[in-house]
Amino acid sequence: MKGRQIILDHLGDREAAALMVDGRLDDLLIDSDAPRPGTIYRAVALRPVKGQGGMFFSTPDGDAFLRQTRGISPGQEKLVQITGYADPEKAIPVTDRILFKSRYAIVTPDAPGLNISRRIRDDDRRDMLMVIAREAMQEAGDMGLILRSSCVDAEDDAIAEDIRAMATLAAQVTGDTGTGPETLVEGDTPHALAWRDWSDPADIVTDPGSFASHGVLDALDALKSPFAPLPGGASLFVEPTRALVAVDVNTGTDTSLAAGLKANLATARELPRQLRLRGLGGQITIDLAPMPKKDRRGFETTLRATLRADGIDTVLAGWTPLGHYELQRKRARIPTLPLLP
């Protein structure tokens, strides 16, 4: 099926959302028992971590770790927000630079100023959005605002309502006067995240059992194997270990001189999708197919472009002496495999 579909359903008792593009699973969100990114706590400082410039905090969901905490003493309370999922057996990663993010607006209490996504290039539309922003933020004090690219075709009233809702929530949270560890805002569920972040035009499917009727379950079965096919008979294997995610690239039956380059470029285009669907992050090491060193730049350029569109923070660490390529990827998703039925 051509086009984009956002399918909202459940896997067992877990809320889930799938994005299908031209009949292929492109993104996946599954709820888990872990604290959701975006959750905001009133946390209590426990103890500093010498040598790392950070501190552990007590939250209702367990210990959290905040980097760069100069001037904070044990026992002091602070607002923090979950930035991603924790490594196994490690503290929840949090930040004190809190964001209030919705479909059209991001309110930034610690960063004053009104800003519009650079993806919106029409000057008339930018002028109109700035008028809407100024009016909606009149009572928000020094808080800042970023209008997202989804505003380009949105209704003006919907944008203004979204801004006011986020600004009101931000004012309530930042004005908190309670004591002790407490959850002040829950992170978004998969259905809410799909509405918030999958903003390009799409058909919305909410019928019970739609994962089965729209091919999502078949695509999820494929994720149970480390194998992922590539064009031209090549393939890659994505296998998480305790220390890192290992990716092995194979050329398959292609024995031409350009087989390695073709398989590696196909990997650069496909790997971000595989990592996204499998919920994998952290250290990633790619064992690429053999190719001349002069072709490495083309691989990096293709991978960088695909990761830019992917939207999950990923650092291209570079080449190892053995010719492997390494990435460091934010743990923005929970690993998918343990959540599948």
Q: Work out the angle at residue 254's Cα, subtended by the Cα atoms of residues 253 and 259, and round it to the nearest 5 degrees.
A: 140
Q: In percent, how much of the chain has pLDDT > 70? A: 100
As a whole number of angstroms, the distance between CA 43 and CA 55 comes to: 11
Instruction: Report DSSP state, residue 199.
Output: -
For residues 183-212, average pLDDT:
96
For residues 78-89, average pLDDT:
92
As a whole number of angstroms, the distance between CA 260 and CA 171 comes to: 55
What is the model's pTM? 0.92
Which pLDDT value is given to residue 130?
97
As a whole number of angstroms, the distance between CA 146 and CA 114 comes to: 6
Q: How many separate helices (H) and strands (E) can be counted in the chain?
A: 7, 20
Question: How many CA within 13 A on the CB side of residue 125?
Answer: 18
Q: Which of 192, 183, 173 is nearest to 99 (CA)?
A: 173
Taking 90 as the threshold, does the pLDDT of residue 149 lie above it?
yes
For residues 192-207, average pLDDT:
95
161 burial level (CB within 10 Å; 0-12, 13-18, 19+): middle
Angle between the N-to-C axes of helices 156-174 and 123-136, in degrees from 0 to 180, rounded to the nearest 10:
40
> Which segments of 127-259 are extended strands (E)?
144-147, 182-185, 203-205, 227-229, 235-240, 245-250
Q: In percent, how much of the chain has pLDDT > 90? A: 90
More confident residue, 89 or 293: 293
Provide, for the chain, the percentages of residues in helix, strand and coil under a 3-state DSSP scheme, each rounded to the nearest 5.
Answer: 30, 30, 40
Taking 70 as the threshold, does the pLDDT of residue 248 lie above it?
yes
- Phi, psi torsion values for 29, nearest 5 degrees: -130, 125
Give residue 145's pLDDT band: very low, low, confident or very high (50, 70, 90): very high
